[in-house]
């Protein structure tokens, strides 16, 4: 990960060496498919801090379409994931790219270790990691998996209706869906692979009686034509059974390696075809505070069932956290905790003002200024030195302590306001000639409350200046085997969110909305692009 991709987001100046981050939240969700995202949505709507860790390896990745999901029938799985990500991000929940390698206990918290050295510290952990399907060792089977090799008649059976379907049975339970495939086509054949089922099994007797051909043999390979289309199943000895689709039951393995340091291991599933994580009805595992949902607990779940299960377990986690907070008579803010931790040590940044701020306020007459997300105070101190009457605002008291220390060193009088930009009326209305938000990390809300709060603070005739890093580099894929992203920029208020509100209001004139290289010198020696939005509130 290059320097300019690891932004602290709240403020200011990049270190010249890549850094790793320790994030703090209420719930770390490991797995960003249907179950994990549904849980994150429940929890985000309960105002809980959520970080979803997504390795981008969903079980249904080979499938072109997803079926039997009411309201989303037939869409690509990736489209559902994109919709879900956008929904959880609207509530400030983050989806970060990375692979969770280990979960360990630290006091009353859990530490989730990610590739690349980043960590997430959470009060609760939800494993929504899914399973890995393990196909029979038959040549050609894997290359057709998710296409014309299927396993679930509900997921993909309709798409092969009236075609030649050959069911390759490798375990007695592989007969369970056979009656459904027979219902979908008259051209149905069962191959009992390697004597895996007693010829007198009641299901086989019923199938023969109903006219289904049942063949005992060893399947050696799946035959494809020159276009890569499946055309036959070949048996030992050379016999070929013409086929348009193959149904096969896979064994599976629960993705639970990261939970091993907690002593939490998968157990054999009752079917004997794989393992799973056992949970209570509330989704809690044998380790208090660690939950599981989706296919990692029940491999039979379709996507809609996994989403429902994730939603249920997310709700149960919300109750668990609420009970704990009620007993402590507390309403902790995960966002505040996260920033307090980050500003709890020595100074991270240079103390210089941001170069874009310096350039943009040069033509303004000093008056009252509000620095939203003041961080360590480089901007607030510089504005005060230029003659502005400054209020430094931040959700973190530890950040404001840094600002106060920097101001005291320079004998400057600065006002301090510990406030959540998403709170109810956090800023004095129509009071500031300049409201500056430089790289501020403010969680999004569906109603855009923070944007309205920031705009309301600008006095008539005053200036709003919002500056962000160009987010494109932070959206580029990373190799999760070696790297992870510590932040999700799309979970925070973006410049485009502010610009959209300004453009629809007659109270505002947008003076600048552009991407440009960050000025050298005052900001940092590392050149990255800024997105700069400057607007004036109409006087009178």
**Residue 343 within a domain:** no
Do 389 and 530 lie in a common domain?
yes
Asked if the model's pLDDT at residue 437 lies above 90, the reply is yes
* Residues 112, 30 contacting (CB under 8 angstroms): yes
Do 122 and 212 lie in a common domain?
no
Do 11 and 119 lie in a common domain?
yes
The last residue of one of the domains, among 187, 214, 249, is 249
- Which residue do the tokens 């494809």 mark? 224
Question: What is this structure's pTM?
Answer: 0.92
Do 257 and 296 lie in a common domain?
yes
If one counts every other C-beta atom within 10 angstroms of the C-beta of residue 445, the result is 17
CA distance 189 to 366: 83
If one counts every other C-beta atom within 10 angstroms of the C-beta of residue 236, the result is 11
**Residue 339 within a domain:** no
Element of type H or E holding 502: helix 495-503
pLDDT grade for 4, boundaries at 50, 70 and 90: very low
Count of structural domains within the chain: 3
Domain CATH for 451: 3.40.50.150
Q: Looking at 5-14, 191-200, 350-359, which range is the least confident one?
A: 5-14
The pLDDT of residue 517: 87
The last residue of one of the domains, among 201, 233, 249, is 249
Do 192 and 297 lie in a common domain?
no
**Residue 128 within a domain:** yes
CB burial string 249-261: b at 16+ within 10 A, e below: bbbbebbbebbee
Q: What torsion, rounded to 10 degrees, do the Cα atoms 35, 36, 37, 41 define?
A: 100
CA distance 483 to 118: 9
* Residues 465, 361 contacting (CB under 8 angstroms): yes
pLDDT tens figures, 233-243: 999 999 999 99
The pLDDT of residue 519: 73
pLDDT grade for 527, boundaries at 50, 70 and 90: low
Domain CATH for 292: 3.50.50.60
Do 108 and 161 lie in a common domain?
no
Domain membership of residue 184 as a residue range: 136-249
Element of type H or E holding 465: strand 458-469
* Residues 50, 88 contacting (CB under 8 angstroms): yes
Do 125 and 273 lie in a common domain?
yes
The last residue of one of the domains, among 190, 214, 249, is 249
Asked if the model's pLDDT at residue 420 lies above 80, the reply is yes
Do 40 and 87 lie in a common domain?
yes
pLDDT grade for 347, boundaries at 50, 70 and 90: confident
The pLDDT of residue 117: 96
The pLDDT of residue 9: 37
pLDDT tens figures, 470-520: 998 888 899 999 999 999 999 999 999 999 999 999 999 999 999 998 776
**Residue 283 within a domain:** yes
Do 111 and 55 lie in a common domain?
yes
**Residue 342 within a domain:** no
pLDDT grade for 522, boundaries at 50, 70 and 90: very low
The pLDDT of residue 6: 32
The average confidence (pLDDT) of the chain is 92
- Which residue do the tokens 């005060």 mark? 384
Do 509 and 388 lie in a common domain?
yes
- DSSP letter for each residue of 329-371: T----HHHHHHHHHTSSS--S--PPPHHHHHHSTTSPP-EEEE
The pLDDT of residue 520: 65
pLDDT tens figures, 110-145: 999 999 999 999 999 999 999 999 999 999 999 998
CA distance 218 to 87: 48
**Residue 341 within a domain:** no
The pLDDT of residue 298: 95
Do 473 and 414 lie in a common domain?
yes
Do 106 and 198 lie in a common domain?
no
Q: 247, 251, 273: which is closest to 183 by C-alpha?
A: 247
Asked if the model's pLDDT at residue 201 lies above 60, the reply is yes
Average pLDDT over every residue of 344-351: 76
In 89-178 the beta strands, taken as DSSP E runs, fall at 94-97, 100-106, 109-114, 119-127, 131-134, 149-150, 165-169
**Residue 206 within a domain:** yes
The pLDDT of residue 524: 42
């Amino acid at each position: 990960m290059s320097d300019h991709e690891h932004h602290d987001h709240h403020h200011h100046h990049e270190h010249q060496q890549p850094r790793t981050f320790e994030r703090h939240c209420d719930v770390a969700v490991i797995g960003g498919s249907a179950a994990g995202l549904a849980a994150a949505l429940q929890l985000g709507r309960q105002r809980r801090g959520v970080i979803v860790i997504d390795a981008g390896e969903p079980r249904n990745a080979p499938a072109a379409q997803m079926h039997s999901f009411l309201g989303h029938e037939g869409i690509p799985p990736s489209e559902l994931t994109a919709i879900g990500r956008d929904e959880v991000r609207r509530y400030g929940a983050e989806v970060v790219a990375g692979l969770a390698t280990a979960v360990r206990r630290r006091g009353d918290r859990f530490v989730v270790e990610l590739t690349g050295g980043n960590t997430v510290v959470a009060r609760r952990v939800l494993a929504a990691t899914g399973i890995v399907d393990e196909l029979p060792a038959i040549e050609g089977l894997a290359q057709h998996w998710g296409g014309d090799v299927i396993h679930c008649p509900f997921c993909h059976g309709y798409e092969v209706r009236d075609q030649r379907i050959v069911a390759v049975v490798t375990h007695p339970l592989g007969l369970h869906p056979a009656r459904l495939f027979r219902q979908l086509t008259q051209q149905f054949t069962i191959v009992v692979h390697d004597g895996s089922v007693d010829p007198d099994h009641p299901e086989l007797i019923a199938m023969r009686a109903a006219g289904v051909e049942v063949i005992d043999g060893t399947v050696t390979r799946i035959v494809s034509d020159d276009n890569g289309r499946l055309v036959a199943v070949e048996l030992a000895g050379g016999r070929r059974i013409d086929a348009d689709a193959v149904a096969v039951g896979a064994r599976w393995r629960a993705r639970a390696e990261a939970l091993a340091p907690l002593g939490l291991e998968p157990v054999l599933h009752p079917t004997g075809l794989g393992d799973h994580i056992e949970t209570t009805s509330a989704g809690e595992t044998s380790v208090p505070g660690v939950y599981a949902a989706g296919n990692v607990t029940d491999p039979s779940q379709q996507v809609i069932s996994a989403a429902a299960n994730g939603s249920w377990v997310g709700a149960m986690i919300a109750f668990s956290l609420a009970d704990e907070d009620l007993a402590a008579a507390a309403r902790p803010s995960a966002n505040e905790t996260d920033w307090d931790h980050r500003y709890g040590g020595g100074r991270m940044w240079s103390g210089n003002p941001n170069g874009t701020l310096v350039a943009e306020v040069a033509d303004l007459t000093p008056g009252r200024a509000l620095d939203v997300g003041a961080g360590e105070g480089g901007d607030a101190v510089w504005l005060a030195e230029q003659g502005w009457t400054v209020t430094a605002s931040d959700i973190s008291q530890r950040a404001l302590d840094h600002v106060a220390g920097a101001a005291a060193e320079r004998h400057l009088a600065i006002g301090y306001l510990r406030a959540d930009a998403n709170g109810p009326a956090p800023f004095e209305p129509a009071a500031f000639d300049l409201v500056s938000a430089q790289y501020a990390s403010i969680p999004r809300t569906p109603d855009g409350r923070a944007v309205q709060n920031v705009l309301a603070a600008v006095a008539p005739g005053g200036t709003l200046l919002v500056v962000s890093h160009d987010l494109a580099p932070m959206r580029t894929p990373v190799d999760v085997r070696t790297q992870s992203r510590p932040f999700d920029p799309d979970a925070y208020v973006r410049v485009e969110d502010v610009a959209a509100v300004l453009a629809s209001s007659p109270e505002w004139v947008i003076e600048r909305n552009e991407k440009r290289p960050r000025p050298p010198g005052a900001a940092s020696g590392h050149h990255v692009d800024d997105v700069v939005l400057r607007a004036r509130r109409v006087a009178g």
